[in-house]
């Protein structure tokens, strides 16, 4: 996508936030966005210090703030915005908004520290005239991030393709074999993804063999893979800031009946979860579609986490899909579906895909599956 097209996308995202400011329970004249992931979403800027000011009634008054280390970078990545150079970006932008008449200023209460808020209140109190009202706006930008636009879906698709290709490459090279260590397999997969064009890995790759596969988020060690082991691999790539997430579980050399049974149970539950991904579906009902399959087979106590989560600029973002979730699934959300069964001391299976929830009228009644690696029970 061209730079001009991306700039247009960023402006459209800021305009959506602008409109939302007037619809808050406590409407705000402006908001200062300081969460760096949200700053990137709204501007494209990726520096380690930054904030964005969005005015409710004047797009020309939008500003981006960063410090002097990023003079060149902010011009390259967010050149459509006037840059303000300061160290304390929250206070600087809030004060600028106040000086041009903002009487109520939103801030991200879930991202601003108590100390930063105290400093801002103190700075406001030092000025002549009435201080602006400060309004906490937790989750304001995250709500928009739930729904991916075409540019975001393309980056997610590329990240998932790198994951698919990387896993296929290490299988073809015989990396996943008896005698290798979990850590060796994990590092080989990560380097393969880098070689294929990943900007980063999405999170520390999970490779869990044998009894370790029963630990949902096991960290790879020097444990040696052995014939007959389950090998659970949970991993992802990052492209343009967007994360992929996929889990596949294999068996080395030969499989026992119990392994086939557990695998097929999880595969059935995962298919039920994918089928439940419909726009407007209750998030708890989606979770229940998969969870009931596992519980009815007598393994409810061995499924210990939610069905999935949103994925995008962060590896875990809204919406969460679980038994305690609230709300419904929006069309355009990118989510994972990842049920698992974990038998302590024996082994476990998780099968995970990343999918985009699409309009049923245009997608053939199925979500858009971004992770393409085969899920058939496989002995390596």
Q: What is the mean pLDDT of residues 231-241?
A: 98
pLDDT confidence bin for 361, thresholds 50/70/90: low
Give the per-residue pLDDT at 19.
Answer: 95
Res 1 pLDDT > 90: no
Res 364 pLDDT > 70: no
Per DSSP, the residues of 220-264 read P-SPBP-TT-EEEEEE-EEETTEEP-EEEEEESS---HHHHHHHH
Res 68 pLDDT > 60: yes
Give the per-residue pLDDT at 6.
Answer: 76
Give the per-residue pLDDT at 156.
Answer: 98
Give the per-residue pLDDT at 45.
Answer: 98
Res 234 pLDDT > 80: yes
- CA 232-233-235 angle, to 5 degrees, is 155
Give first-to-last CA distance, the chain, whole Å.
39
Give the per-residue pLDDT at 130.
Answer: 74
Res 362 pLDDT > 90: no
Give the per-residue pLDDT at 351.
Answer: 98
Copy the structure tokens of residue 190.
């990560």
**Higher pLDDT, residue 129 or 174:** 174
Mapped onto helix, strand or coil, the DSSP state of residue 209 is strand
Count Cα atoms within 13 angstroms, Cβ side, for 92.
17
> Which CA distances in Å does 346 have to 197, 210, 218?
36, 7, 14
Most confident of 125-134, 147-156, 361-370: 147-156
Q: What is the mean pLDDT of residues 135-141?
A: 93
Give the per-residue pLDDT at 250.
Answer: 98
Give the per-residue pLDDT at 199.
Answer: 98
CA distance 243 to 291: 25
Average pLDDT, the chain: 95
Give the per-residue pLDDT at 5.
Answer: 65
Res 96 pLDDT > 80: yes
Per DSSP, the residues of 269-334 read HHHHHHHT--TT-BHHHHHHHHHHHHHHTT-GGG--S-SEEE-SSSSSEEEEESTT--SBPPTTBE
Condensed to tens digits (0 to 9), the pLDDT of residues 196-218 reads 999 999 999 999 999 999 999 99
Condensed to tens digits (0 to 9), the pLDDT of residues 2-13 reads 566 678 899 999
Q: What is the mean pLDDT of residues 104-133?
A: 90
Condensed to tens digits (0 to 9), the pLDDT of residues 176-196 reads 999 999 999 999 999 999 999
Give the per-residue pLDDT at 209.
Answer: 98
Give the per-residue pLDDT at 240.
Answer: 97
Condensed to tens digits (0 to 9), the pLDDT of residues 275-331 reads 999 999 999 999 999 999 999 999 999 999 999 999 999 999 999 999 999 999 999
Q: What is the mean pLDDT of residues 320-346?
A: 97
pLDDT confidence bin for 237, thresholds 50/70/90: very high
pLDDT confidence bin for 132, thresholds 50/70/90: confident
Res 363 pLDDT > 70: no
């Amino acid at each position: 996508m061209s730079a001009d097209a991306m700039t247009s996308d960023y402006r459209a995202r800021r305009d959506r936030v602008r409109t939302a400011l007037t619809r808050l329970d406590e409407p705000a004249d402006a908001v200062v966005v300081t969460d760096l992931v949200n700053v990137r979403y709204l501007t494209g800027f990726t520096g380690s210090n930054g904030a964005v000011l969005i005015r409710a009634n004047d797009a020309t008054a939008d500003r981006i703030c960063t410090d002097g280390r990023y003079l060149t970078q902010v011009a390259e990545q967010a050149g459509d915005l006037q840059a303000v150079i300061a160290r304390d970006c929250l206070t600087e932008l809030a004060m600028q908004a106040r000086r041009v008449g903002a009487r109520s200023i939103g801030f991200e209460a879930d991202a601003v520290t108590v100390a930063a808020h105290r400093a801002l209140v103190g700075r406001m109190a030092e000025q002549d005239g009435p201080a602006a009202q400060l309004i906490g706006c937790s989750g304001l930008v995250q709500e928009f991030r739930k729904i991916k636009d075409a540019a975001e879906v393309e980056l997610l698709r590329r990240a998932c393709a790198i994951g698919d290709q990387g896993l296929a490459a290490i299988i073809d090279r015989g990396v996943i074999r008896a005698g290798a260590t979990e850590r060796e397999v994990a590092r080989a997969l990560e380097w393969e993804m880098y070689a294929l064009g990943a900007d980063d890995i999405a999170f520390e790759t999970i490779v869990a063999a044998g009894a370790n596969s029963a630990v949902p988020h096991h960290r790879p060690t020097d444990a040696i893979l052995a014939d007959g082991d389950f090998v659970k691999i949970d991993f992802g790539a990052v492209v343009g800031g967007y994360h992929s997430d996929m889990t596949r579980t294999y068996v080395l050399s030969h499989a026992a009946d119990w392994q086939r049974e557990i695998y097929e149970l999880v595969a059935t539950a995962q298919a039920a979860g994918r089928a439940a991904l419909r726009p407007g579906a209750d998030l708890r009902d989606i979770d229940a579609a998969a969870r009931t399959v596992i519980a009815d087979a007598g393994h409810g106590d061995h499924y210990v986490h939610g069905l999935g989560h949103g994925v995008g600029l962060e590896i875990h973002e809204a919406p969460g899909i679980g038994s305690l979730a609230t709300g419904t699934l929006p069309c355009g959300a990118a989510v994972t579906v990842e049920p698992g069964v974990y038998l302590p001391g024996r082994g476990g299976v998780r099968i995970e895909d990343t999918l985009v929830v699409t309009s049923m009228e245009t997608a053939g009644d199925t979500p858009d599956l971004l992770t393409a690696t085969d899920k058939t029970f496989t002995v390596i």
